[in-house]
């Protein structure tokens, strides 16, 4: 699946409720999911890795980030291409 296809999937399924919630409320959901990802990563570092949960948390973070991009009409695939691929992308740290 391409990034654009995923972004459209999220838009088709959730855009009405996401737009009504707005960016502040949606950002709180993203922050919560980042916290859940942090917990899953910490568990993995402690030797209690749950690969299924870890994968789900990465997916959730990406979905909520995509939601905010949709609210702002940002084409994530184009943004990534322009920032990281076009002209060789930036060098060094992000």
Residue 38 CA to residue 9 CA, distance in Å, equals 26
pLDDT of residue 87: 75
Q: What ranges do the domains of the chain cover?
A: 3-84
Give the pLDDT of residue 45: 97
pLDDT by residue (tens digit) across 51-65?
A: 999 999 999 999 999
pTM for the whole thing? 0.89
Measured distance CA(70)–CA(62) in Å, rounded: 12
Instruction: Output the six-digit token pair for 4.
Output: 């654009």
State the fold for domain 3-84. Helix Hairpins (1.10.287)
Give pLDDT, residue 86: 85
Q: Which pLDDT tens digit goes with each residue over 3-33?
A: 999 999 999 999 999 999 999 999 999 999 9
Can you read off the two tokens belonging to residue 28? 């709180």
């Amino acid at each position: 699946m391409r990034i654009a296809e995923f972004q459209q999937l999220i838009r088709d399924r959730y855009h009405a409720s996401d737009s009504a919630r707005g960016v502040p409320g949606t950002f709180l959901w993203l922050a919560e999911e980042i916290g859940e990802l942090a917990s899953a990563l910490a568990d993995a570092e402690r030797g209690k890795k749950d690969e299924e949960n870890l994968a789900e948390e990465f997916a959730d973070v990406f979905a909520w980030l995509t939601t905010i991009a949709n609210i702002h009409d940002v084409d994530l695939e184009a943004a990534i291409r322009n920032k990281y691929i076009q002209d060789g992308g930036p060098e060094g740290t992000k």
